[in-house]
Amino acid sequence: MMGRSLATRVSQAGISLVLKEISAERGAQVMAILEESLDRQIERWALTKSEKKAILSRIELTTELERIRDCQLVIETIQEDFDAKKALLHELDAIAGPHVPIIVNTSTLSITELAQNLTSPERVLGMHFLYPVTTQPVVEVVRGQVTSDAAFELARTFARILGKVPIEVFESPGFVTTRVILPLINEAIHVVMEGVASAAEVDLAMKLGYEFRIGPLEWADRVGLHKILTWLEYLFQETGDQKFRPCPLLRKLVRAGHTGTSKGKGFFTYDAERNRLDRLPDDTPRVA
């Protein structure tokens, strides 16, 4: 999902890219989903048919990792799994040119630890894109302990080309956005679990009281409650801080498979287009 969104934004910025997928079948599925997403933008008058054609023409689909050899920048967008990312970084380090920055798309993992034992660890850094990449204006650009100034500046320039505001972050668990938002979400879940207020009332209070575009619980549904749980567990393990200890209700929902919009149910229920079905009368939709 993040890879598709990022590929769309990169192409929209006029940059040609190679999109590597695990199989030809999966690649065809990804391109079909990408086309559907662009078609929805056309329906909303946010895009023209000629712009869609241009976007797709700049995306080269491949199943061969060797194809990245001539790329000037490499971004991984696989699952938030330390061992999987580290194994992939070793492959990328062996293929990409020695001065090509390798960007880890992560919200919590240590850039320095991931870059250990690579041939060129100084060219590894993090970029935490918020989803959807096509509309979110901010990206955290994360320095590891040995990240070079050249790699960092190229990544920051790249972020600006994409129309993003780059936030310079020195490596720390959760960086800025994840570290700040997770305790808020976790406490909102506790409020629901304790019966203080319903999920809908909690979100409405935060939207109207603090000008949130989307309530913290609906936001968690859209990100995926399983991801929220994983991030909280990681930060709790890294810091030992009780504010990151996952609420039991979050674990129950994940175990039940109610992980958010992708499953049609989390704290709220959703239709096939991921639109919420159970808003309060006073809760005017504020996001697409």
Three-state DSSP string of the chain: CHHHHHHHHHHHCCCCEEEECCCHHHHHHHHHHHHHHHHHHHHCCCCCHHHHHHHHHCEEEECCHHHHHHCCCEEECCCCCHHHHHHHHHHHHHHCCCCCCEEECCCCCCHHHHHCCCCCHHHEEEEEECCCCCCCCEEEEEECCCCCHHHHHHHHHHHHHCCCEEEEEECCCCCCHHHHHHHHHHHHHHHHHCCCCCHHHHHHHHHHHHCCCCCHHHHHHHHCHHHHHHHHHHHHHHHCCHHHCCCHHHHHHHHCCCCEHHHCECCCEECCCCCECCCCCCCCCCCC
> What's residue 288's pLDDT?
43
> Digits of tens for pLDDT over the chain (288 positions)?
888 889 999 999 999 999 999 999 999 999 999 999 899 889 989 899 999 999 999 999 999 999 999 999 999 999 889 999 999 999 999 999 989 999 999 988 999 999 999 999 999 999 999 877 878 899 999 999 999 999 999 999 999 999 999 999 999 989 999 999 999 999 999 999 999 999 999 999 999 999 999 999 999 999 999 999 999 999 999 999 999 999 999 999 999 999 999 999 999 999 988 889 988 887 865 544
What pTM value is reported for the model? 0.86
> What's residue 100's pLDDT?
96
φ, ψ for residue 138, nearest 5 deg: -115, 150
Full set of structural domains in the chain with CATH = 1-63 (no CATH), 64-175 (3.40.50.720), 177-263 (1.10.1040.10)
